[in-house]
Amino acid sequence: MIKFFRKIRQNLVVENKFSKYLIYAIGEIILVVIGILIALQLNNYNDALNENDFERKALLNLKLDFEYNQSELNKSIAELKEIKKNSFIILDNTGSKYQASFDIDSLLQSVGNVPKYYPQNGFLLDLINSGNLGIIKNDILRNKLSSWLPTLETLKDREKSVVDFTDDFIRYIIKNGSWLNSDEKTNDEEITKIRFPKSGFEINNNDLLKNIEFENIVENLIVYKSLLLDRHEKCIELNKEIINFLETEIKK
């Protein structure tokens, strides 16, 4: 094809048909420009296809991670609510409300527990660290993904403060009660499978109910864990919103 055009140019020059040669040359330039534009369009089209494919894979991977996060958040929320319920049962039996028939041992393990939330953020972190979060075209979804880690950080900060205060509760039982008595009554499989022996001391954990310091510690635990529960609920609200947006974008 190139030889064909070159031959035409040479014939026009030989025949001294400059005006026709000029028109031909311009036409040839236009054809070259059109060819370049078509090539660019095809290249842009291929880039768009690759980008859309990358975005779809990103959406699917993010959905898997956030579905896992939602499941784990629900477990932690259920556990925190159970801890609060058991803590209130204890407060309903302190001081003048003390009843000898009440058994505190089965509740101590629950009250002294703090559920740890371990989210799965690997793919989101990869997108952020590689500068590829912009591949998500939906501005609202991208903003919500950007706010997920800061929201999660507030939960982890609250979790740490609850762990620190719960350690005070554990130390109080170590000093004033018997964990072995509680171990004997617990339903926690991780503890029961250890098969601890009975305590060698004559001590009744129900006596803790007669102590105002113990009552105050349990009350403070409820406050701390209520704040932690609030953080969990804020996280799961955002988590659900993100999943809904991901599902909408995947269906497009």
Beta carbons of 115 and 75 less than 8 angstroms apart: yes
- pTM assigned to the model: 0.78
Look at residue 35 and tell me whether its pLDDT is greater than 90.
Answer: no
Domain ranges of the chain: 2-251
pLDDT in tens, 114-138: 999 999 999 999 999 999 999 999 9
pLDDT digit string (tens) for 132-148? 999 999 999 999 999 99
* Confidence at 2, pLDDT banded by 50, 70, 90: very low
Q: Where are the alpha helices (DSSP H) in the chain?
A: 2-14, 18-91, 105-111, 122-129, 139-176, 179-185, 189-192, 212-251
Dihedral sign computed on CA atoms, order 40, 42, 48, 50: negative
> Which is nearest to 140 in space by CA: 251, 52, 248, 252?
248
Least confident stretch, 5-19, 101-115, 149-163: 5-19
157 close to 76: Cβ distance less than 8 angstroms? no
In 92-121, alpha helices (H): 105-111
